[in-house]
A = this chain, B = another copy of it.
C-alpha cells in the first residue's frame, strides 16, 4: 500500500538497498548469480535447459537453481524442473521486471524446498521477458547476461540501449536460424559493441548446441571476492 505511493526514484533506491544486501549474501555463500534478460521469446528458458544439459554431463556438475519471473503462468519453471533444475516461479502480475525483494522471496521458497543458498554454486535468475523495464533493477547479480536472438533483427541493441549498457555478457541466441532469417552478424556485433563495449559476446544455439561450451565456461568463472 505504502509501496504504491512511492515514486519511481524511491522504488529504485529501495531496490538498490535490497540488491546490495543480496550481493553480500551471495558473496558470503560463494554462489555465482546470473541475471538473464531478453525480449519475450528470445530463448531464455531454452538456453537454461541447454546449460543444464551441458553442465549435467560434467564429472562434477555445479549445483544449480533457478528463479523465474513471469507476469503469469509458471510454464518456464515447469519446463526447467522437467530438465532437472530446481526452479521456483515468481509471478509479477502487472510488473514488467523482477525486483530485489522478489528475488528474496524466491530464495525463501527455494529454502522451503530444502535448497539453501550455501549449497549452490550457480543461481540463475530468468527475468521477465522485456528489453526495457528490467534494465534499472539490480538484483545483486554477479553477471548480467542479455540475450538477443537472430530472429529479432540486428538493430535491437541500438534501439534498446539501456539494458545493454550494463551487460557483462551478450549472447546472440538461435544462431542456427541465422541463415534462414538473413541475419547480418557483422551489423549485430557492431551494434552490440557500440552500446556494450566491455561486454563479451557469444553466439549460441540451444537446439544445435553451438556455443554452449563457451557459454558454460563464461558462467563457471569464479565469483569475484
Distance of A94 from chain B, by nearest CB (Å): 7
By the criterion CB–CB under 8 Å, are B159 and A75 in contact? Answer: yes
Closest CB of chain B to A51's CB: distance in Å? 18
Contact call A40/B7, Cβ cutoff below 8 A: no
Query: In the bound complex, what is the Cα–Cα distance between A162 and B100 (angstroms)?
Result: 24
Select one of B129, B132, B153, B181 contacting A159, CB under 8 A. B129
Question: Does A5 have its Cβ within 8 Å of any Cβ on chain B?
Answer: yes
The DSSP consensus for interface residues of chain A is loop
| A152 contact set on B, CB distance < 8 A | 39-41
Whether A71 lies near B161 (C-beta < 8 A) is: yes
Would you call B75 and A151 a contact (CB within 8 A)? no
- The distance in angstroms between the C-alpha atoms of A156 and B216, with both chains bound, is 27
Across the interface, do B96 and A132 meet the contact criterion of CB distance under 8 Å?
Answer: yes
Q: Which residue, of A40, A155, A160, A162, has the highest number of chain B Cβ atoms within 10 A?
A: A40
Q: A35 an interface residue at 8 Å Cβ cutoff?
A: no
* B residues less than 8 Å from A113 (CB atoms): none
| Known A151-B149, A156-B40, A180-B177; contact A131-B130, beta-carbon cutoff 8 A | yes
What's the Cα separation between A128 and B156 when bound, in Å?
12
- The reply on A200 being an interface residue by CB < 8 A is no
- The number of chain A residues with a CB under 8 A from chain B is 35
- Which residues of the other chain, B, contact A180 by a CB distance below 8 angstroms? 177, 180
Q: Tell me which residues across on chain B come within 8 A of A177, comparing CB atoms.
A: 151, 177, 180-181
- Whether the pair B72, A161 counts as a contact (CB closer than 8 A) is yes
Are B181 and A132 touching (Cβ within 8 A)?
A: no
**A4 beta carbon closer than 8 Å to chain B:** yes
Are A159 and B70 in contact, CB atoms less than 8 angstroms apart? yes
- Tell me the A81-102 residues at the B interface (CB within 8 Å): 94, 96
- Give the shortest distance, in Å, between A3 (CB) and chain B (any CB): 12
Binary contact track A146-169/B, C-beta < 8 Å → 1, others 0: 000101110110111110000000
Answer whether A39 and B129 are a contact pair too, CB < 8 Å, given A7-B4, A96-B96, A155-B75: yes
Task: Spell out A's residues near B (CB within 8 Å).
Answer: 4-5, 7-8, 39-41, 70-73, 75, 94, 96, 128-133, 149, 151-153, 155-156, 158-162, 174, 177, 180-181
